[in-house]
């Protein structure tokens, strides 16, 4: 509430005059409202040294307005932002370790205040070792189920600071969240599949970000990719058919033969798989069995699409064509005819969902890219910042 002190003083003065004797001489003057002092604060204080890079930097003025604020690191400007009323300023990024800074604040009345300070050197640095999608492994046009997967080269203890600086922008708004699988691996996926034909930009603004005690990131990273058309395949091990829909429309029915069961390892895993690779030729060997042992095999297989890390593929199987569409005889893979295998590998994007139904053995969330095996509530348990909409796509 704004107090109108002058007006209130006039009302009181008028009331007093009406009730007093006629000996009062003339009207009373209102008391002048005191002017609040302008107070400019700059932090860190001038001369401060060995500050942690995550130390706050701010400029604030009471009863005034900032004309300009500059922050420089070794002569290079550091970006920052003002509050709506231009009474406060903060840098947009964390400080860098082992760096000298100068901040200069100017008010509209000409007041100037400067502070010189420096940060402590990092004991250790960390970096991103791998980002998926990438141009070589997946291509930069991917399926609607594709997660963003980040692997660090050191264990990250301060997950909050790191996750806060992992930014996902999209041309269509998407609700999503990061999920830590361990101290080095964090992935982002939407609550639901990506909308088809979405453009996505991932930015890791990590330079100067704390990853652990005394450990800071040395650089930023960026990756742009596109979501292609929506293609979702559903393989039913009871009906022995895989039905494929593209952009919601049914386009192909593929007879299949899935895992024969009997032993647990011979069941095809149930659940939402993703296409992980497309391989013209794959050498398959029996899991856990060496040469000379009963049941050992080594087979050259063509036109394969990997769907897990436990050796499961959709692949050409000319030897089981007679069983495809009527019975399950494989060691766990999804067998299809040579013609259908050629079509499938040519028409599949990495990150396309391939859903298997009808078996008792579930795909584990950590088996390959089993990210969609966790429901949204389970996924959020391993996020430090929980769900948020993606930022609008920008060119920066």
- pLDDT tens per residue across span 155-203: 999 999 999 999 999 999 999 999 999 999 999 999 999 999 999 999 9
In a domain, 323, yes or no: yes
What is the average pLDDT value for the chain, to the nearest integer?
90
Confidence of residue 33 (pLDDT cuts 50, 70, 90): low
Which pLDDT does position 7 carry in this prediction?
37
In a domain, 72, yes or no: yes
Which of 87, 119, 151 is a domain's end point?
A: 119
Specify whether 260 is located in the same domain as 307. Answer: yes
Which pLDDT does position 95 carry in this prediction?
95
CATH number at residue 268: 2.40.440.10
Specify whether 253 is located in the same domain as 328. Answer: yes
In a domain, 329, yes or no: yes
Which pLDDT does position 221 carry in this prediction?
97
Specify whether 221 is located in the same domain as 236. Answer: no
pTM of the full predicted structure?
A: 0.85
Q: Measured between alpha carbons, how far is residue 147 from residues 160, 177, 350, 367 in Å?
A: 20, 10, 11, 14
Confidence of residue 32 (pLDDT cuts 50, 70, 90): low
Give me 23's structure tokens: 């000996």
In a domain, 174, yes or no: yes
Specify whether 261 is located in the same domain as 351. Answer: yes
Of the candidates 240, 315, 331, 371, the residue annotated as catalytic is 315
CATH number at residue 205: 2.60.40.3710
Which pLDDT does position 168 carry in this prediction?
97
Which of 99, 119, 139 is a domain's end point?
A: 119
Confidence of residue 349 (pLDDT cuts 50, 70, 90): very high
Specify whether 136 is located in the same domain as 66. Answer: no
Specify whether 343 is located in the same domain as 242. Answer: yes
Confidence of residue 384 (pLDDT cuts 50, 70, 90): confident
Helices then strands, counting H and E runs in the chain, come out as 4, 31
Which pLDDT does position 23 carry in this prediction?
44
Specify whether 203 is located in the same domain as 149. Answer: yes
Percent of the chain with pLDDT over 90: 81
In a domain, 354, yes or no: yes
pLDDT for 256-267, tens place per residue?
999 999 999 999
pLDDT for 114-149, tens place per residue?
999 999 999 999 999 999 999 999 999 999 999 999
Give me 196's structure tokens: 């088809």
Which of 100, 119, 138 is a domain's end point?
A: 119
| Residue 22 reports pLDDT greater than 80 | no
Q: How far apart, in whole angstroms, are the C-alpha atoms of residue 39 and residue 110?
A: 13
Q: Note down the domain range covering 241.
A: 231-360
Mean per-residue pLDDT, 93-107: 96
If you compute the radius of gyration of the chain from its CA atoms, what whole number of angstroms results?
32
pLDDT for 60-73, tens place per residue?
999 899 999 999 99
Measure CA of the first residue to CA of the last residue in the chain; give whole Å. 41
Q: How far apart, in whole angstroms, are the C-alpha atoms of residue 381 and residue 374?
A: 10
- Number of domains observed in the structure of the chain: 3
In a domain, 13, yes or no: no
Q: Which element (helix H / strand E) includes 118?
A: strand 112-119
Percent of the chain with pLDDT over 70: 89
In a domain, 25, yes or no: no
Q: How far apart, in whole angstroms, are the C-alpha atoms of residue 168 and residue 203?
A: 6
| Residue 24 reports pLDDT greater than 60 | no
In a domain, 165, yes or no: yes
Give me 290's structure tokens: 């060496």
| Residue 31 reports pLDDT greater than 60 | no
Residue 315 annotated among the catalytic residues of the structure: yes
Specify whether 95 is located in the same domain as 69. Answer: yes
Q: How far apart, in whole angstroms, are the C-alpha atoms of residue 180 and residue 192?
A: 18
Which pLDDT does position 74 carry in this prediction?
84
Residue 19 annotated among the catalytic residues of the structure: no
Specify whether 382 is located in the same domain as 351. Answer: no
| Residue 17 reports pLDDT greater than 60 | no
Specify whether 349 is located in the same domain as 248. Answer: yes
Mean per-residue pLDDT, 269-279: 98
């Amino acid at each position: 509430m704004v107090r109108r002190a002058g007006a209130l003083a006039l009302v009181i003065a008028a009331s007093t005059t009406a009730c007093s004797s006629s000996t009062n001489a003339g009207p009373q003057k209102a008391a002048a409202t005191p002017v609040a002092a302008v107070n400019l604060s700059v932090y860190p204080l001038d001369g401060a040294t060995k500050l942690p890079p995550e130390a706050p930097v701010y400029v604030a003025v009471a009863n005034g307005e900032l004309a300009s604020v500059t922050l420089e690191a070794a002569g290079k400007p550091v970006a920052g932002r003002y509050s709506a009323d231009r009474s406060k300023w903060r840098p947009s990024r964390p400080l860098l370790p082992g760096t000298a800074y100068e901040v200069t604040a100017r008010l509209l009345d000409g007041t100037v205040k400067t502070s010189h300070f420096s940060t402590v050197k990092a004991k250790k640095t960390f970096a991103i070792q791998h980002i998926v999608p990438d141009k070589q492994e997946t291509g930069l046009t991917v399926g609607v189920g594709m997660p963003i997967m980040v692997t660090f080269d050191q264990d990250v203890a301060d997950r909050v600071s790191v996750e806060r600086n992992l930014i996902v922008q999209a041309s269509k708004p998407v609700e999503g969240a990061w999920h830590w699988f361990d101290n080095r691996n964090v992935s982002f996926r939407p609550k639901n599949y990506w909308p088809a034909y979405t453009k996505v930009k991932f930015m890791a603004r990590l330079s100067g970000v704390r990853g652990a005690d005394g450990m800071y990131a040395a650089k930023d990273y960026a990756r742009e990719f596109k979501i292609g058309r929506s293609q979702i395949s559903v393989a039913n091990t009871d009906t022995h058919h895989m039905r494929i829909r593209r952009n919601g429309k049914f386009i192909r029915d593929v007879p299949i033969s899935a895992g024969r069961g009997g032993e647990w390892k011979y069941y095809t895993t149930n659940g939402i798989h993703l296409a992980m690779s497309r391989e013209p030729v794959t050498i398959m060997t029996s899991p856990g069995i060496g040469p000379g042992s009963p049941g050992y095999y080594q087979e050259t297989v063509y036109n394969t699409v990997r769907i897990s890390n436990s050796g499961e593929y959709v692949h050409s199987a000319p030897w089981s064509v007679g069983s495809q569409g009527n019975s399950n005889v494989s060691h766990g893979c999804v067998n299809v005819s040579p013609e259908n295998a050629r079509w499938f590998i040519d028409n599949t994007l990495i990150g396309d969902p391939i859903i298997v139904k009808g078996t008792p053995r579930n795909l584990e969330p950590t088996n390959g890219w089993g990210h969609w095996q966790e429901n949204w509530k389970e996924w959020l348990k391993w996020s430090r910042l929980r769900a948020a909409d993606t930022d609008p796509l920008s060119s920066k």
